[in-house]
Chains A and B, each alone.
Chain A
Amino acid sequence: MHIRLRVKRFEAGKDREPYWSEYGLEVEATDRVLDALHRVKWHQDGTLTFRRSCAHGVCGSDAMLINGRNRLACKVLIRDVGDHIAVEPLRGYPVIRDLVVDQSAFFRKYESVQPYLVADGEPPARERRQSPAERERFDDTTKCILCMACTTSCPVFWPNPEYVGPAAIVNAHRFLFDSRDTEKEGRLARLNAGDGVWRCRTIFNCVEACPREINITRAIGEVKKALLLQKG
């Protein structure tokens, strides 16, 4: 089928304003949007710039705005978005070039929640025991691939770039609810701060955006509840 692909272009240090490029091309309905971007890059316009690696939704490289929604270009098929496709970079972080945004501030927020297991005492010779139920407690939030789709879809984040954002909260949740972790307090205090979890207004954009189908709003709710219980 024939599609019209429009891409918002910008090069830091060169362009003053973003502009649109438009390409017409033949694709299969079952192709990924990433395939269409590749076809343009490889056969029409080598300057079109985006990140990608795995091409099947596991590395988190290619989140972008596709027809107004944050999605992974490799995980959405042409037939799901139609023959007029508009692609833009994620909102809220500086654009380096075309669909490539600067991720450093995003990763700093991730690091601020101590995204690693802290467990007091010497580890045993074998594994620490954890029941399947305890393991299930944080299963959902282990799926995060740090693609940035959630945080950059959040209307609270856009005007408040200091807001820690859903992705960081998801990753805090992953450790807060891990029965092996002993560093609950530091993490909770971090999320209780002014730029923390209370900024969330339960707008659900993040849940819509998450390509891993993580129930982010539920995770955020559980973190809020843990904070309230701690206070009470």
Chain B
Amino acid sequence: MALVYHQHEVVIVGAGGAGLMAALALRGRDVAVLSKLHPVRSHTGAAQGGIGAALGNMEEDHWEWHMFDTVKGSDYLADQDAVEILAREAVETVMDLEHWGLPFSRTPEGKIAQRKFGGHTKEYGKEAVRRSCYAADRTGHMILQTCYQQGIRHQVKYYNEYMVVELLVESGRTAGVVAVSIADGQLHVFHAKAVLFATGGFGRMYEVTSNAHALTGDGVAVAWQAGVPIEDMEFFQFHPTGIYRLGILITEGARGEGGKLLNGKGERFMERYAPSMLDLAPRDIISRCIYRELREGRGIHGQGYVHLDLTHLGAKVIHEKLPDITDFVRTYLGIDPVKEPIPVQPTAHYAMGGIPTDMWGRVVVDEKNKILPGFYAAGECACVSVHGANRLGTNSLVDILVFGRRAGRDIARYVGENEYPPLAPHAGEATGERLARLREGRNGSGGRAESVADLRETLQREMMEKASVFRTSGLLAQMSEKLFELRQRFQNVVIQDRSTVFNTDLMEALELGFLLDVAEATVAAALARSESRGAHFREDFPQRDDQNWLKHSLAYRGADGKIEFKYKPVTITRFEPKERKY
């Protein structure tokens, strides 16, 4: 099949909050937004609880406090210059959203309403503060809608249901991407001066997750395959309250409104672990506490879950402030949260790691922050790093918008100053051949034909057992071997669907390849880091070790397929690392 060529000054890959915000910052320019999902299907729409900004609408608050909480929440691994930008620009970003029409919930005086969220405090840790700006429990839905609507207003050009499979780099500069149009299987080459990846997370490498099926780490894996390192992959956040077995999220906002976690004995067990923040301690801590309770036999009826109890909040609060989660619990569990507690377990939620960038979304490729000209990343697929070893609730929505916009602004500058890079004459052809082999079932080396679903299920189950909340060198080494085996078997994957029309069988095979990449990086980075910090907890090294490990990891895929690491220092400006207590 012949390739179709396009030229746009800027190609944005991903149409969640990060991609759309960048597109809006670039309005009036020649920008193409490519997304494998229609923009309004992006997972930003699933965010529930809120976006953090020190507006001080309900009580005194300051961006410095927000900055401190974020740094402490990150277990001091976040880069403080970037966190300062996050906390400062959060305020104007929320105001912009409001001006664009976002229907925030309101205070009696008509201001944007705010509520408590895990790890957000006043006066540097004194007590919980109301900082999360929300629109009931569908804040992400409203952010995604509002940004998409502004995009319509400003005539952003979308290529919907285009899946990007390759990043083109020519003599040290970014030259574009290769994408498949899902509807007809056509391969397209997009020649561009600048490319922004905003492809979201990769929770689907785990069995129980709050993430959409589409969140398979595509951008991270594609960048990695192009030789870009990936940063801090050992840090993956498990959110404490996913619906038991399904993993569907129950927002931390439920605890922000006063919800409590109870074990099988009816105890509010967080009293023992985090006496001042209780159920609003950060997520890494609560997820570990839940697992401890379960291990020690204090699950509900000895099963693998605890209870999230909202019954004391009353019907009015629950219906007004948490209507969507009420609906989820009713639909999937047949339970009325007004009357009964909700069975919950930790659920794979958020990737702190990703494509390394500076504060303008520019991708950096080594420990000295060398830039790869023309390549940008923002949102969950990027690692600035503002979340370090553990992200606080409400900070991802800030991150995607603040850094999505900054990336857009810097791209505007960059494309103004630079010509199109050359495009290699056969760009995309090898990828086209690889995809055709897969689609036509000519894949593999003659071994036993493997199924995508079987490999993916094994990957997800094993990652959950061996590389989730509690880790040891033994389990991680086993996982590493398992991944080697899965990688071998993946070479022999044969799909059933031979059609070019909307071939989701083919998409799933490609996505599995991406998941294997991000899982390999996660496990290798976790094995290398012999300390515990934030979401990365090693039972064989339970202490944080600032002497040796106050640094970011950069994973490189060597030519022989092996993974190698470099490390880069953490930027510390205002807050010296301290022990983390809540």
Contact = CB atoms under 8 A, between A and B. Distances in A.
Interface of A: 11-14, 30, 32, 41-43, 45-47, 49-61, 75, 77, 96-98, 100, 103, 107, 111, 114-117, 119, 123, 125-132, 134-135, 138-139, 142-143, 145-146, 175, 178, 180-181, 213
Nearest to A142: B103
10 contacts: A14-B501, A42-B453, A49-B502, A57-B328, A59-B46, A107-B38, A123-B99, A125-B95, A130-B106, A135-B103
Tell me the interface secondary structure of chain B in the complex: loop
B152 A54 contact: no
Contacts of B106: 130-132, 135
B495 interface: yes
Given A47-B497, A128-B98, A178-B103, 4 more contacts: A56-B246, A100-B502, A107-B38, A119-B99
Contacts of A181: 101
A107 B246 CA distance: 31
Contacts of B100: 116-117
B488 interface: no
B213 A55 contact: yes
Nearest to A98: B502
Interface residues of B, number: 57
A103 to B, nearest CB: 7
A132 B41 contact: no
Interface of B: 37-38, 40-43, 45-46, 95, 98-101, 103-112, 135-136, 138, 141-142, 145, 149-150, 152-153, 183, 212-214, 246, 248, 324, 327-328, 331-332, 334, 451-453, 495-497, 499, 501-505
For the complex of A and B, 6 pairs with smallest distance between CB atoms: A117-B101, A46-B496, A42-B453, A129-B110, A116-B149, A123-B99
Contacts of A125: 95
A136 B297 CA distance: 45
A108 to B, nearest CB: 11
A100 B496 CA distance: 18
Contact of A127 (B112, B183, B501): B112
Given A14-B501, A42-B453, A129-B109, A59 B212 contact: yes
Nearest to B113: A132
A77 B38 CA distance: 25
B336 to A, nearest CB: 15
A53 B453 CA distance: 16
Contact of B183 (A96, A98, A119, A129): A96
B511 to A, nearest CB: 12
B499 A60 contact: no
A125 B91 CA distance: 11
Contacts of A41: 453, 504-505
B213 A53 contact: yes
B98 A97 contact: no
A100 B497 CA distance: 15
B45 A97 contact: no
Nearest to B506: A46
B101 A56 contact: no
